[in-house]
Each structure stands twice: as structure tokens, then as C-alpha cells.
């Protein structure tokens, strides 16, 4: 018993010396005792709660708060910024008005939480945002408005591509977006950031049977227009589906524009459900490997070529004005004042003097 007591005393003494030595080394390095462990605990405290995801970026967070489609658990604003102004101040006011807890972690912790994505010093713990079933989209009769446009996406897998497509669709006035549930990228925070927050406010729906959905819409009077790459047009002729340039497309009835996967394009089943295929003609002879465009770039070009035909748009008004001006009778020389460059006027005067 005496020997055990002695060993216990020695152990306690040695461990005390080890702990003291550990703390003294930490003090010499300028660290607080237990600093690393406390930092880890604080970082764990900021980790997203189960079934929540971390939305990042100023626009996605602000638009998500305004849209109120998600449950918001906490707002994380980067500490150390000189004042909270502009959109960040509005974000803070929105959070306080809804009694959302606000934390001020340092940038290093936000970087770690966002896995080093560009967060702009703003993050939010939110519930996931999922596409709604197509049956919730509501049946709209083609007769209500002949210039309705829905964007259909089959199998887009890159979140940044999906986000860029959603941003263009929202900017150009697409009414709804429908995505295939199978083999498609979910609506993640990366998609929201790439869309500059457009994902938070757009109507996005999904369907398990995309071909059946397109066929049903065609029977209701909608035009189902697929898309095909320039080099893919030859192989598409075998399906007997007409192909036209997007610049020659006339938007005269409700239309579903269908875009396919980044690599393989539209599946055969979906392409067979299309009544028309649109393509983008290149401006030069293309070498092998450069025959197609990125899907988000192609989406922007196609949507702009269609939406620029919308009544009331600046492009349509300008076109109508030019047509109207071209139909007016030409003005006579009487009372017509022509403004010329001074050098051109001087040159004309010299010519008249020589002829005289």
C-alpha cells in the first residue's frame, strides 16, 4: 500500500510538471492554454445543424430572406468588417425583424464552413430548397397568352451550369423552369450562388416522366422546341424533326424550350417528343472539338433570340419603328436639311467651283 501511494504521488507530480511544461510552452508561443481546443469547440458550434445547409453569398442570402421559402436558423456575418452598410445592413435588419440569431465569426471560420467557396462574408443556415412537383405548376391555357415560355432542362449535372442557366432565365423573363428529377443536379447552395440568388425567387418544378410531360403539353397546344448542336444536326435528320436556326424561329405560340445534358444533349426519348429543333449557327468554320457551346452560354443565346420577340420589349419596339419609318414616303428636297461633316461640305463646294 505504501509503495502504491508513493507511485501515485510521483505520477501526480510528474503529470503536474508535464501540464505545467505544456502550458509554459503555449505561453511562450503566445497561445492561450486550451486555445486550439476552444477554437475547435467554437467552430463546431457554428457547424450547420442536421438537415440544414449553408447558403453563402450576399445576393443568395438576401433574396432567400425576402422570398421566405426557406426556414432560416442562423445568419453568419463576418466579424471585423468596418461597419455593416448597404445590402449587408438590409440583411441584418431583415434577420432582426424575424428574430433570426446573428453570429459574427471570423473569416477563417466562414471559409472552413463554406469549404472555401466565395461567401462575401455572409452565410445562412437554412432548410434545403427543392423543386416543386409539376402538378403544382397549375394548368395554363395556351389561349391565355400566346407568348408564354417555359424552360425545360434534362439531366444538367454541373451546379454552376444550372445556376448560370437559372440566372439567364430569370433575367430574360422565362415563366417557369422544369427539370428532370432523374440525373439532374439538385438545388444546392452552389447553384444558388452561381445564379446570383435567382434560384431563390424562381418557380422551379420537376417531373419523373419528362417525355410524358412534353407530350401532354404538345397535345394542349404548346410548341415543344428541343435544341441540338451544330454538328449534331446531320444525325437529327433521321428523326424527321425539322431543324431551324434560333434566329429564324418565330415565337407565335406558347413554347417549351428543352435543353439537354452537358455532354450527351437530349435523350432519344425526349428528342422524339420535340416538334422542332433549334440550333445556333457558328460564325466561322470550326475545328473538331469546338462544334458546340457550353450549355449555359447556349441557353442565354437561345432565350435571348426568343424573348427579344416579346411584345413590349425594347427590341420589338425598335424593330416596329424601323418598319414604320421604312414605309413612310421619302422626303422631298424642299425644306430638307441635311447635316454634313464640315470637310464633306467644303469638298462639295470645291467640286461645284471646278464645274462652274
Residue 51, domain extent: 44-126
Torsion of CA 172, 178, 182, 183, to 10 degrees: 0
Q: Where are the beta strands (DSSP E) in 78-232?
A: 102-103, 122-126, 132-133, 149-153, 176-180, 204-207, 223-227
- Does 265 map to a domain? yes
Task: Assess whether 210 and 75 both reside in one domain.
Answer: no
Lowest mean pLDDT among 141-150, 166-175, 315-324, 343-352: 343-352
Region 176-198 average pLDDT: 95
Task: Assess whether 142 and 120 both reside in one domain.
Answer: no
Task: Assess whether 165 and 82 both reside in one domain.
Answer: no
Q: Mean pLDDT across the chain, nearest whole number?
A: 78
Strand order of the β-sheet with 204-207 is: 132-133, 204-207, 176-180, 149-153, 255-259, 223-227, 276-279, 243-245
The confidence score (pLDDT) of residue 140 equals 62
- Does 319 map to a domain? no
Split at pLDDT 50, 70, 90, the class of 347 is very low
Last residue of a domain, one of 83, 102, 126: 126
Region 235-262 average pLDDT: 85
Q: Whole-angstrom Cα distance, residue 154 to residue 303?
A: 16
Task: Assess whether 103 and 170 both reside in one domain.
Answer: no
Task: Assess whether 247 and 268 both reside in one domain.
Answer: yes
Last residue of a domain, one of 126, 160, 191: 126
| Residue owning grid cell 430574360 | 172
The reported pTM is 0.73
Q: Whole-angstrom Cα distance, residue 88 to residue 94?
A: 10
Task: Assess whether 118 and 256 both reside in one domain.
Answer: no
Q: Whole-angstrom Cα distance, residue 127 to residue 69?
A: 9
Q: Which position has the higher pLDDT, 348 or 262?
A: 262
Amino acid at each position: 500500500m505504501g509503495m502504491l501511494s508513493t507511485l501515485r504521488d510521483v505520477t501526480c507530480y510528474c503529470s503536474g510538471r508535464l501540464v505545467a511544461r505544456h502550458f509554459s510552452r503555449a505561453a511562450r508561443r503566445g497561445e492561450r492554454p486550451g486555445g486550439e481546443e476552444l477554437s475547435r469547440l467554437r467552430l463546431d458550434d457554428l457547424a450547420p445543424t442536421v438537415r440544414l445547409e449553408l447558403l453563402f453569398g450576399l445576393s443568395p442570402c438576401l433574396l432567400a430572406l425576402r422570398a421566405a421559402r426557406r426556414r432560416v436558423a442562423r445568419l453568419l456575418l463576418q466579424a471585423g468588417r468596418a461597419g455593416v452598410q448597404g445590402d449587408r445592413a438590409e440583411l441584418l435588419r431583415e434577420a432582426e425583424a424575424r428574430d433570426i440569431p446573428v453570429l459574427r465569426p471570423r473569416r477563417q471560420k466562414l471559409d472552413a464552413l463554406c469549404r472555401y467557396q466565395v461567401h462575401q462574408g455572409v452565410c445562412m443556415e437554412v432548410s434545403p430548397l427543392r423543386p416543386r412537383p409539376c402538378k403544382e405548376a397549375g394548368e395554363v391555357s395556351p389561349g391565355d397568352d400566346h407568348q408564354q415560355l417555359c424552360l425545360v432542362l434534362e439531366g444538367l449535372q454541373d451546379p454552376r451550369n444550372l445556376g448560370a442557366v437559372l440566372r439567364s432565365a430569370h433575367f430574360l423573363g422565362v415563366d417557369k423552369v422544369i427539370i428532370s428529377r432523374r440525373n439532374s443536379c439538385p438545388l444546392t447552395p452552389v447553384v444558388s450562388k452561381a445564379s446570383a440568388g435567382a434560384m431563390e425567387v424562381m418557380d422551379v418544378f420537376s417531373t419523373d416522366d419528362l417525355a410524358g410531360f412534353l407530350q401532354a403539353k404538345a397535345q394542349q397546344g404548346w410548341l415543344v422546341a428541343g435544341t441540338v448542336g451544330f454538328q449534331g444536326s446531320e444525325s437529327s435528320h433521321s428523326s424527321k424533326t425539322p431543324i431551324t436556326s434560333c434566329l429564324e424561329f418565330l415565337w407565335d405560340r406558347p413554347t417549351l424550350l428543352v435543353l439537354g445534358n452537358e455532354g450527351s444533349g437530349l435523350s432519344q426519348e425526349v428528342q422524339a417528343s420535340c416538334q422542332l429543333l433549334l440550333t445556333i449557327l457558328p460564325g466561322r468554320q470550326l475545328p473538331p472539338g469546338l462544334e458546340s457551346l457550353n450549355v449555359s452560354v447556349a441557353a442565354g443565346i437561345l432565350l435571348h433570340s426568343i424573348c427579344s420577340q416579346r411584345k413590349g420589349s425594347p427590341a420589338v419596339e425598335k424593330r416596329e419603328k424601323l418598319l414604320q419609318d421604312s414605309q413612310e414616303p421619302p422626303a422631298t428636297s424642299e425644306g430638307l436639311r441635311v447635316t454634313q461633316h464640315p470637310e464633306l461640305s467644303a469638298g462639295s463646294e470645291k467640286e461645284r467651283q471646278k464645274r462652274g
